[in-house]
């Protein structure tokens, strides 16, 4: 009887292995592929190869199983951030806008929602900047500028009493200053790095803008150093 049981268990081993391979094993393999692409994307970002980084982040998203929704959202956030630097700022804005709506609907973690909103506000800020430089009318550049201001204000209010609050408040001030700044003064500011390759800003704003990065002296630094901070990561 004991031999019969052992023989039956032995026969089940291939079945168990196959079940693991086509079940949890597939998930593990997919996550391993995603991890490799994440490492590749970060290395490419360090080298400022933003097109390559965007592609690597895209492949990491594709490799991540659909049930890992939170992980996929974080990867899509990184993907959109890289896209901002590839000259596709309007597309990055659309990605972030859709991602934020999805995160709110699915009740994603508050920290992740803040990161997405902060990245969206940053993209809106730069879009308004470029549109002003290219002579867009107030009706065209004010919507993204106002959206950036509202998003930074919401983030600052939510972050009150935390280390992240100060950075959000500075970014809110920068967004307000952008709307009030004289165009001549704005033209003297260095172009933000992530805007240097942008060829048109936003279909939503009905404006096509060309980057003036080639006309900016090389010694000028990223305009974020002039009162604009990197978006805090998940400050609570």
Query: Rounded distance, CA 85 to CA 68, Å?
Result: 27
61 found inside a domain: no
- pLDDT of 1 reads 57
Query: Rounded distance, CA 108 to CA 92, Å?
Result: 20
5 found inside a domain: no
**What values do phi and psi take at 196, rounded to 5?**
-65, -25
192 found inside a domain: yes
Query: Rounded distance, CA 100 to CA 78, Å?
Result: 13
43 found inside a domain: no
122 found inside a domain: yes
- Going by the DSSP 8-state scheme, the letter that residue 223 receives in this structure is G
Cβ within 8 Å of residue 134, ≥6 positions away: 201, 207, 208, 209, 210
230 found inside a domain: no
55 found inside a domain: no
- pLDDT of 169 reads 93
Each of the 236 residues of the chain gets a pLDDT tens digit; together they read 555 654 444 455 454 444 444 455 666 787 889 999 999 999 999 999 999 999 999 999 999 999 899 999 999 999 999 999 998 889 999 999 999 999 999 999 999 999 999 999 999 999 998 888 888 889 999 999 999 999 999 999 999 988 888 999 999 999 999 999 888 888 888 776 666 556 555 443 333 333 333 343 333 333 433 445 655 444 43
- pLDDT of 31 reads 80
- pLDDT of 228 reads 56
**Domain that residue 200 falls in:** 76-211
Q: How many domains does the chain have?
A: 1
193 found inside a domain: yes
- pLDDT of 187 reads 83
């Amino acid at each position: 009887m004991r031999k019969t049981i052992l023989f039956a268990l032995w026969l089940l081993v291939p079945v168990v292995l196959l079940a693991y391979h086509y079940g949890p094993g597939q998930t593990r393999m997919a996550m391993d592929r995603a991890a490799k692409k994440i490492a590749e994307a970060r290395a490419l970002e360090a080298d400022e190869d933003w097109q390559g980084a965007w592609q690597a982040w895209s492949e990491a998203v594709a490799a991540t199983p659909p049930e890992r929704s939170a992980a996929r959202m974080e990867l899509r956030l990184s993907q959109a951030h890289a896209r901002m630097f590839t000259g596709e700022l309007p597309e990055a804005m659309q990605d972030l806008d859709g991602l934020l709506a999805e995160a709110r609907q699915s009740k994603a973690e508050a920290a992740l929602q803040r990161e997405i909103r902060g990245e969206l506000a940053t993209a809106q800020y730069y879009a308004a900047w470029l549109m002003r430089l290219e002579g867009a009318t107030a009706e065209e550049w004010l919507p993204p500028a106002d959206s950036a201001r509202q998003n930074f204000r919401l983030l600052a209010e939510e972050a009150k009493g935390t280390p992240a609050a100060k950075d959000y408040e500075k970014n809110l001030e920068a967004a307000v200053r952008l709307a009030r700044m004289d165009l001549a003064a704005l033209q003297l500011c260095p172009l933000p790095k992530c805007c240097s390759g942008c060829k048109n800003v936003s279909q939503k704003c009905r404006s096509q803008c060309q980057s003036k990065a080639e006309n900016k002296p090389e010694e000028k630094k990223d305009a974020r150093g002039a009162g604009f901070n990197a978006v805090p990561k998940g400050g609570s």
